[in-house]
Chains A and B, each alone.
Chain A
């Protein structure tokens, strides 16, 4: 290794952003969609874990990781649909239900996931986008999961749809003013049910990435709160899908600070640097609470801001 330590760290950060950001991205996009319709689903941490378990189990039994991805999405959609259905009952608080769904999702995943901790399931392949560099380190950093590209595509699609389709306008309308939506004959509950279900589907796919790509195994400590951080990230991204992608990459890079510093020999404060994403979350919450622009962009119907 003859490169400067700074370069090594930078490459490691980029690699980290590429490698770690995907689950953040999918959960944040799912949450973004749900919150745009005026509902908060805090249960996506549970969705992420259950998605990871289902993806791993399905890939193990069928031998196809892509079927695993689909299964993870379907499991997430079921959890999202449960959340969406329960919240439409009278006098139900979406935040409380979200917390219950978080415990429910992780509980179900741990219960059915016990037998899959040991066996090896087939993993998702990577696209070697860095082969042209001729630098093995850089090439390793630039190995990209197809799911990352899928996430970016979903974000672009969502941003376009919010502005240019009837469905996008209806979702934004429902999220900003339920009375206006009702006056136009839109079923607010149905819209929120569908967006929560879709949001769950996306978060489930994020889980598939965890168990089938990176770290690429199934165990109970797999998510370590990434689903919760992603919810905070939506606020930071001010409910814009494109900014969700940027924020997810930032979080991914933050998660790589600890390991990359260690790789150049900085061992002091390893655990502190590993806590970077969590500290970042805390900072973001404080900053966004003070931000005037966030107050402008927040969907008017969200129960956390009402």
Chain B
């Protein structure tokens, strides 16, 4: 390892002293001090809204902290904007990729430089890039447009970009959320090796305890904007970290699974084929059976056809070939079939996919029932009073926190939107329930409740299809797991009879 980009001993230490940041009445960050020694792999743990992002955005100069200072190698530095952070050698990998899809890896790397030449001598630049890559533990193809990269390669290139820009303090915002377990382990392992060699210092925002325990040296836990503890990872356990994260609230119980034998086949997917928006095949003969009283979890790295499968079942995407059978009758995704066959669904990002944001909570809750008695007379005359009464009842039963049934649903928090939509979908008699990433971005309390509701439907005998990018969620809820890779299901097993490593291998397409 030679050359400026990876000279050993280049890692710097970072310290924040009494950082505070208020947004109006909300203290997003309250007197947070932390120390990250040079060459360490530090985790920043916390629930959504705990202040992790605010903290790193203050460090990066996106926000100006109201109070407090940042020290690099013990010296106070002033960072007013992301460009200052860059000049100090601090780089960040964001949750969403910041690569330009139509540009090649080489073009993306080159244009990220502040001193990119006015006219590019590609022969020379390519040679220099190849030399740079030779010194790096990460390998990516240089001449391929990013649009054709797999998520893991993109994440590697994001990290390579920071190293290429000579940045030695890397801040990673949930870097593994789009990766297979295998890819995640590879990337985090390589980063850990680089920290061990003293080449870089890494701060990683995460909520995955497993990653903290296997890769990080030390951890800081944030809750409601305050540093509530942390320390060396070797001194901590999952339980102690979880307790720090969620505070006095009860650590949630796993949803209670009633012991019951799986019933008859209720939902059958027979050779489903569909195209993506660009007309390319994205579902390639998906076959799956879901029985009554069973949850089948569909695992897979995002972008392998899971969302399109959900869209097909939700009637948002046309089927090219194959058919969906429910209780042995062909299922067409139209309003009448949903009603008759008792099919209900909870798509991901419900505010976008299952609600009309500007309509009221009561109206959104009535979407399944507005054209039937008692709300509708003669099939078309709507009466607002029964609609509001029904909404009141469901709001109370599902504990949706809303100022009134007349509030626009967009004004509710994510957890409450999810509860309102669940109330709408689960209030009737459910035979088939199709759910996608139901707990994405929710706090602990909401997660427990929503998983409990899904489990309750299973216990009552519904056939549940759960599409989730969170493998832990599938392992907790599902009776069987099906892995999707490259648009087809390549592995099905009972959850009790398989393990994370086997599932991960199939997620990667092996």
Contact = CB atoms under 8 A, between A and B. Distances in A.
A166 B103 contact: no
B116 A169 contact: yes
Contact of B117 (A166, A176, A296): A166
Interface string A163-186: 011110110110011011101110
Interface in B103-135: 103, 107, 110-112, 114, 116-120, 122
A126 interface: no
A184 B113 CA distance: 8
A172 B147 CA distance: 14
A295 B98 contact: no
A35 B114 CA distance: 24
Given A184-B112, A292-B278, A172 B120 contact: no
A46 interface: no
Interface string B62-102: 00000000000000000000110000000000101111111
Contacts of A300: 101-102
B275 to A, nearest CB: 10
Nearest to A296: B278
Contact of A295 (B82, B120, B277): B277
B385 interface: no
Nearest to B99: A180
When A and B form their complex, which 4 residue pairs have the shortest distance between CB atoms, in order from nearest?
A: A183-B98, A169-B111, A166-B116, A295-B278
B90 to A, nearest CB: 14
Contacts of B94: 183
A165 B97 CA distance: 24
Contacts of B102: 172, 176, 297, 299-300
B108 to A, nearest CB: 8
Interface of A: 164-167, 169-170, 172-173, 176-177, 179-181, 183-185, 292, 295-297, 299-300
A176 B278 contact: no
Contact of B101 (A164, A166, A169, A177): A177
B278 A172 contact: no
B280 interface: yes
B403 interface: no
Contacts of B118: 165-167
B279 interface: yes
10 contacts: A166-B111, A166-B119, A166-B120, A167-B118, A169-B107, A170-B111, A177-B99, A179-B96, A184-B112, A185-B114
Nearest to B83: A185
A299 B117 CA distance: 24
Nearest to A174: B100
B100 A164 contact: no
B120 A185 contact: no
Contacts of A181: 100
Interface of B: 82-83, 94, 96-103, 107, 110-112, 114, 116-120, 122, 147, 277-280
A183 B60 CA distance: 12
Contact of A173 (B83, B97, B100): B100
Contacts of B98: 177, 179-180, 183-184
Contacts of B119: 164-166
Nearest to B145: A296
Nearest to A292: B279
A299 B114 CA distance: 23
A172 B117 contact: no
Contacts of B117: 166
Contacts of B110: 169
Contact of B82 (A172, A185, A297): A185
Contacts of B280: 292
Contacts of B97: 180
B262 to A, nearest CB: 42
Residue with the highest number of chain B CB atoms closer than 10 Å, among A177, A180, A185, A295: A180
A32 B55 CA distance: 42
Nearest to A173: B100
A173 B103 contact: yes
B284 to A, nearest CB: 17
A295 B103 CA distance: 15
B421 to A, nearest CB: 26
Given A164-B122, A169-B107, 12 more contacts: A165-B118, A166-B117, A166-B119, A169-B116, A170-B111, A172-B103, A176-B100, A181-B100, A184-B98, A185-B83, A300-B101, A300-B102
Nearest to A177: B100
A299 B102 CA distance: 8
B116 A176 contact: no
Contacts of A296: 147, 278
A179 B97 CA distance: 9
Nearest to B280: A292
Nearest to A239: B102
B83 to A, nearest CB: 5
B96 to A, nearest CB: 7
A187 to B, nearest CB: 12
B126 to A, nearest CB: 12
Contacts of B103: 169, 172-173, 176
A184 to B, nearest CB: 6
Nearest to A295: B278
A169 B102 CA distance: 10
A182 to B, nearest CB: 9
Contacts of B101: 176-177, 300
Contacts of A295: 277-279
Contacts of A173: 100, 103, 111
Nearest to A184: B112
Contact of A164 (B83, B120, B278): B120
